[in-house]
Structure 1
Amino acid sequence: MESSILRFIWAHSRRDQLLLVLFTVAGFPFLYLSLELPKIIINEAIGGANFPVTLFGHDLGQLQYLFALSGAFLATVLFNGGFKYFVNVYRGVVGERMLRRLRFVLYRNVLRFPMPQFRKLSQGEIVSMISAETEPLGGYIGDAIALPAFQGGTLLIILIFMFVQDPLLGLAAISLYPLQTWLIPKLQRQVNLLKKERVKEVRRLSEHIGESVTGIREIHANGASRFELARFSDQVGVIFEIRYQIFRKKFFIKFL
């Protein structure tokens, strides 16, 4: 099995990832058109005075020109929406297909473990690792390459549009980018470390629950329910604190 999730994604879904990037890039001209058309409608169709206007060999009056541009804008918006729908569904299919493969590979590897390895791992850890812990990867796998390409391309298109309209406005828009470029990766690394710590704590919690169910007779016989509840409360409290730190850092990144 590959040493990292990105290598696993690239090894088994390279073609799909490249198609997703290609589809994403193909939609950028229509994104720019959806920004440009409202400006033309306001400046030329509503505020203009040079009528009639020749469009594709036809002379159009102001009202006709306005309707033509509005129809083009509506068609562009509908096309963008439909295109995003298609790409998002395709992303989801790619993610679920790869998630199925990942779970199969993990389960196959578990079956190949030597017997001493099972003494180090609890049943709860293995179940959680193959089921719950891999679930978020379904969305990540589909977005791993296509989403950065989409977000980066969208940002680039918007910046190009702003610089074309007013260079000063474009400079103002990118004035905070140096700070964001320096700070956001640091915060994201902290979030990733916290997520790893949360996974470890959830595994410990699963192990504790499994031990409690297995030894329920001893717990009842020794009156240890309160002790087990106290342990459980401490563990879920630790998970809560980790999630709280994740939320703070993650939403601060979005704020930036």
Structure 2
Amino acid sequence: MPQTLYGFVVSISGPHQIAIAVLSVLLFVVGTAPLEIQRRIVNSATEHGSYSAIAILISYYLLLALAEGLIKLALNIYRNWVGEVAIRWLRLSIFDATEKSTPQAASASSEGIQLSIVVAEAEPVGGFVGQAISEPLLQIGILVAVIGYMLYLQPLMGLVVAVVFFPQVGFVPLMQSAINRRVQSKIVVMRSVSAGIVDAGSARDHDGVQYGRMQELFSLDMGIYKIKFTMNFLMNLMMQLGYAGIFALGGYYVITGKTQIGTVVAFVSGLSKINDPWGDLVNWYRDLRVTQVKYGLIRDSAQIDVTRTFDERS
């Protein structure tokens, strides 16, 4: 197998990744345009513009919303298909590798590892293939487009929004590294559980070793939950501080006549539009780091021949 996760992604789905990337770029371009239309609708309404102009803007807004939804539908189906084919590829490759190995090489430990890979570990690794490139491209594209639009409308208010994310760039990687260490330990323990079941011929625990492993899994899972939800709490807190900053500065600008109410509405809508892609980007980063750990363990445990291409197994 390739040494890196992305080497594996490219080796089995390179052409498909290009097509998915094109859809991702198209999606974030279409998804940013409604912010400007919202601003114009609000300004036309508050400045007593003609209703016919507002109706035309609403029609454009609905068409963009429809286009965005259809592109997102196609993107989600396509990249999940890629992920599912990769999962099947990994599982079948374990069977191929086992058939090529000598019977003497089999042991309870190796059988337990194969069982763990086929039943549990292949799915998150293969499933990540579909979003390995498209997800960061899409979410970073949305963030850059929306924040750039905000800076164009009102630079100082745009900086308030940007500042919301600076602390998160620091604490998210640190907390995710702590999660990764626990995930790696969890996989090792799960493999030991599988090997113990294979060795005993069933789920028996005469000596209490399996019970100790279950307790260790419980502790590892709880540690992951605590770090994960603490990270979510801090991210949500920073987002609310961003809303407060927009209301404070935007309200002052509207009262003093330095900006229009539509600009403030666009900023509030824009921050909401940033919240989801930022959260999705953080989730993708979590999945990336965890999947890198899982892929490394699979690569080190199974000698899989990657000469069979993605399309041959699709």
**Deviation digits for residues 17-50 of structure 1 (CA, Å, limit 9, x no counterpart):** 1111111111222112111111110002x12346
TM-superposed deviation, 1:115: 4.1
Task: Extract unaligned runs of 5+ from structure 2.
Answer: 236-314
* Farther-moved stretch of structure 1 (143-152 vs 169-178): 169-178
Q: Aligned pair 1:239/2:217, yes or no?
A: yes
Worse-superposed segment, 98-107 or 34-43: 98-107
Matched residue SS, 2:120: coil
TM-score (norm 2): 0.68
CA-CA distance at 1:120 after TM superposition: 6.3
Deviates more, 1:149-158 or 1:178-187: 178-187
Q: Which amino acid aligns with 2:134?
A: A
Could you tell me which residue of structure 2 aligns to residue 165 of structure 1? 153
Q: Which piece of structure 1 moves more, 63-72 or 180-189?
A: 180-189
Q: Kindly tell me: are residues 215 and 131 of structure 1, through their superposed partners in 2, closer, same or farther at Cα, counting changes over 3 Å?
A: closer
Q: Number of residue pairs matched?
A: 234
**1:1-256 correspondence runs (5 A):** 1-44=1-44, 46-49=45-48, 62-119=50-107, 121-214=109-202, 227-228=206-207, 230-254=208-232, 255-256=234-235
> Structure 2: how far apart are the matches of 1:11 and 1:42?
49
Instruction: Provide the rounded CA distance (Å) in 2 between the counterparts of 1:117 and 1:41.
Output: 70
Separation in 2, partners of 1:161, 1:231: 59
> Which one-letter code corresponds to 1:3 in the other structure?
Q
Give the distance between the partners of 1:123 and 1:101, measured in 2 at CA. Answer: 19
Structure 1 unaligned spans of 5+: 51-61, 217-224
Higher RCO by CA contacts (8 Å cutoff, separation 6 or greater): 2
Of 201-210 and 236-245, more deviation after overlay is shown by 201-210
Q: 1:64 to 1:91 in 2, by over 3 A?
A: same
Q: CA deviation at 1:251?
A: 3.0
2-structure distance, mates of 1:108, 1:208: 24
What amino acid is aligned across from residue 20 of structure 1 in structure 2? I
RMSD over equivalenced CA pairs, Å: 2.2
Q: Highest Rg: 1 or 2?
A: 1
Q: Secondary structure at the match of 2:163?
A: coil
Deviations 1:137-175 (A, max 9, x none): 233111111111111111112211221222112111222
